[in-house]
Structure 1
């Protein structure tokens, strides 16, 4: 991470420079790519301004904060930068097309080749634990699986709770 600290209309302070560099370097935990950071610390009468610009893969993330104390200005501007970095990463995740996963592309070809030769069935044994539907929803949300097989505590029947493509949940119950 390349960090540049500039002082305007104030005496350069090594303590402020180290503090600003330390705060900016904490953003590194969110980013895997090289980041260029420019920090401008300036003083006008009683106003202390901290202006931070990050350049991440050509994207410019910028924030400014003005307070009566330089350290609090640095803290507040880094809170803003952190929120913007998280929002930027969320946008990148949302834009990624679902069909672009390399594992799924290969599976489609293998499945069609296997269907041509013979039908292959994978057998997996699961223990259907007794639980309420609400508890099953909570268990499915906590896990990264697409479905959950459980025994309904009220009816003692085996149910399947699954995650739909739109993100909502579906429940399969046997007909009585």
Structure 2
């Protein structure tokens, strides 16, 4: 079985067979070295000003995913930068990713959640009612049931700013996020002990 099902595309640019082969060979090598079969992924090449941006994403059958990007005036260098970042993350979490990706844990449990995107306020516009933001889109998404350490790993693997998840320890919604100082924050409402109500 092919270790990697890969989609390679250019956004508003034409990419040739040599670049496709280069990307496929590099990511297939990474998938073979660090993962088992059953990975699908995508590589998107995008014109970025006078250079290029490459986005690489791998989806594991466990539900975890990895995302990296690279930027360079040279399209090959932008891909190589993204692939190097991907390899560093795979190497850092190799054992834990294999545990998730292997047969012991086929898929992470999910819980449905509402996902709403609001329109960003226009700083020059006069707002008639600031309490009613304009809804741009609304959908249902799935939150994974994770331990806190798994959520921190997912935050790093996806190179994202935040992961909202169902805490596997107690079932409540938690958040891990990347702070401005580079550290990772954790929000768990269950850790707060409510103060006793005062008698009136």
Which TM-score applies when normalising by structure 2? 0.44
Give the number of the structure whose residues are more often strand, by fraction: 2
User: Whose RCO is larger (CA < 8 A, sep 6+)?
Assistant: 2
Query: Which of structures 1 and 2 has the bigger CA Rg?
Result: 1
Give the number of the structure whose residues are more often helix, by fraction: 1
